[in-house]
């Protein structure tokens, strides 16, 4: 039976050096059959390493910390808050191929609200990690629920996965839709439908 490893970020001290990453990219370029020492590819290992720092910067950020600054002066506002169409770019953990999509994030406050940019940042933090869409959807909803403790949370993601649109089965134009409903979004069909009606 295959042993399952709990998801836990690698400590910075255990991560390979920048030079090791560049050497690995150099090896991959050789493996493709191209010459990594030719003019066009000479700086590619450095460029790829720098790009990977951007693609996966979410491992260096704490989404719960981002959500920790809240506002209580809401005049009793307790209706749905929805941030629509948050564009994100991620990478699939199986092929490291791009995932390009949009997120719809909603919650009903329970005395506290958070700045709307923080909702977008939480999506960004989880997107900038190796992902599967189902897990990312749950992570976003769970983080908001854990920190804000609202009446409910709803998250919907729609994305194109290049691991199936640009390789493998080659079905461009298809997207995957995932959702996570917590609290009143799960328990109340009316609340859930109100949120879903705001998507497209």
Third-level CATH fold of 16-55: GTP Cyclohydrolase I; Chain A, domain 1 (1.10.286)
Query: Would residue 184 show up in a list of annotated catalytic residues for this protein?
Result: no
Query: Would residue 5 show up in a list of annotated catalytic residues for this protein?
Result: no
Residue in 19, 20, 94, 200 annotated catalytic: 94
Angle at 67 between CA 77 and CA 98, to 5 degrees: 115
Is 93 buried (19+), middle (13-18) or exposed (0-12) by CB count in 10 A? Answer: middle
Query: Would residue 194 show up in a list of annotated catalytic residues for this protein?
Result: no
Query: Would residue 133 show up in a list of annotated catalytic residues for this protein?
Result: yes
Residue in 131, 133, 139, 151 annotated catalytic: 133
Output 3 or 107, whichever has higher pLDDT.
107
pLDDT-based confidence at residue 3 (cuts at 50, 70, 90) = low
Query: Would residue 91 show up in a list of annotated catalytic residues for this protein?
Result: no
Q: Is the pLDDT of residue 6 over 70?
A: no
Instruction: Please tell me the pTM assigned to this model.
Output: 0.91
| Sheet of strand 98-108, all strands in order from the earlier edge strand to the far edge | 130-131, 81-92, 98-108, 152-161, 176-183
pLDDT tens, residue by residue, 35-85? 999 999 999 999 999 999 999 999 999 999 999 999 887 888 999 999 999
Whether CATH 3.20.20.70 fits 65-197: no
Q: How far is CA 50 from CA 25, 26, 28, in A?
A: 12, 14, 16
pLDDT-based confidence at residue 14 (cuts at 50, 70, 90) = confident
Residue in 22, 26, 92, 124 annotated catalytic: 92
pLDDT tens, residue by residue, 122-142? 999 999 999 999 999 999 999
Domain range list for the chain: 16-55, 65-197
């Amino acid at each position: 039976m295959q042993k399952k490893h709990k998801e836990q970020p690698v400590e910075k001290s255990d991560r390979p050096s920048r030079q090791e990453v560049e050497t690995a990219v150099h090896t991959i370029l050789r493996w493709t059959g191209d010459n990594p020492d030719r003019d066009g590819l000479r700086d590619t290992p450095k460029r790829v390493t720098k790009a990977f720092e951007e693609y996966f910067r979410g491992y260096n950020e704490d989404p719960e910390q981002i959500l920790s600054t809240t506002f209580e002066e809401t005049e009793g506002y307790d209706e749905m808050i929805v941030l629509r169409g948050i564009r994100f770019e991620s990478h699939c953990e199986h092929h490291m191929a791009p995932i390009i999509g949009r997120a719809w994030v909603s919650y009903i406050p329970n005395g506290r609200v958070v700045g709307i940019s923080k909702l977008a940042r939480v999506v960004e933090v989880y997107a900038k990690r190796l992902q599967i869409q189902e897990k990312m959807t749950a992570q976003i909803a769970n983080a908001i629920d854990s920190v804000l403790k609202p009446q409910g949370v709803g998250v919907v993601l729609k994305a194109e996965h290049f691991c199936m649109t640009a390789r493998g089965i080659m079905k461009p134009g298809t997207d995957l839709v995932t959702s996570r409903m917590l609290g009143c979004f799960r328990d109340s069909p009316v609340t859930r439908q109100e949120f879903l009606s705001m998507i497209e």
